[in-house]
Amino acid sequence: MYAVLRSGGKQYRVAQDDVFEVEKLDADVGAKVALADVLMIGDGDAVTVGTPSVDGASVVAEVLDQVKGPKLLVFKKNRRKNYRRRQGHRQELTVLRVTEIKTSARKRRSSSKTGKAKKSTKKVDVDQTKTASQGGD
């Protein structure tokens, strides 16, 4: 079973016991974090896609560490103006290990459609709608 989740504006595909890094979350090392913004859950051939997220689904992860990412250099320059600025940046990251992928207890959306009755559709003559919108010229 796997899940696609969104955290910090990025999407991650995770499975049970995966270790991955997300942008910094306010949690202590060893704490459990529930990530509720699950976009998709896959289990073999059965795939549940949310609109935009799956209702009732969440990914529970354990915080392993709070680290900093690699240094990125930000260099600005205006040619012929003797303007050069160099600045470094290190993104703060949280290292997580997936402990559990929870799915909703409800039935999947595709199976619930079969029990519903079909809605009646109203047929409208196209010529009548054109003349009504044009003011009956």
pLDDT at 121 over 50: yes
Residue 18 falls within a domain, yes or no? yes
Per-residue pLDDT, 119: 53
Q: What percent of the chain has pLDDT over 70?
A: 76
Residue 120 falls within a domain, yes or no? no
Mean pLDDT, rounded, for 28-42: 94
pLDDT at 106 over 80: no
Three-state helix/strand/coil letters over the chain: CEEEEEECCEEEEEECCCEEEEECCCCCCCCEEEECCEEEEEECCEEEECCCCCCCCEEEEEEEEEEECCCEEEEEEECCCCEEEEEEECCEEEEEEEEEEECCCCCCHHHHHHHCCCCCCCCCCHHHHHHHHCCCC
| Mean pLDDT lowest among 18-32, 44-58, 111-125 | 111-125
Amino acid at 132: A
Amino acid at 33: V
Residue 61 falls within a domain, yes or no? yes
Number of domains in the chain: 1
Residue 128 falls within a domain, yes or no? no
Residue 95 falls within a domain, yes or no? yes
Residue 109 falls within a domain, yes or no? no
- Domain range for residue 58? 2-104
| Global pTM value | 0.69
Residue 10 falls within a domain, yes or no? yes
Measured in degrees and rounded to the nearest 5, phi and psi for residue 44 equal 70, -120
Mean pLDDT, rounded, for 8-37: 95
Q: Tell me, rounded to whole angstroms, the distance of Cα 111 from its chain centroid.
A: 24
Q: Quick one: pLDDT band at residue 107, thresholds 50, 70, 90?
A: very low
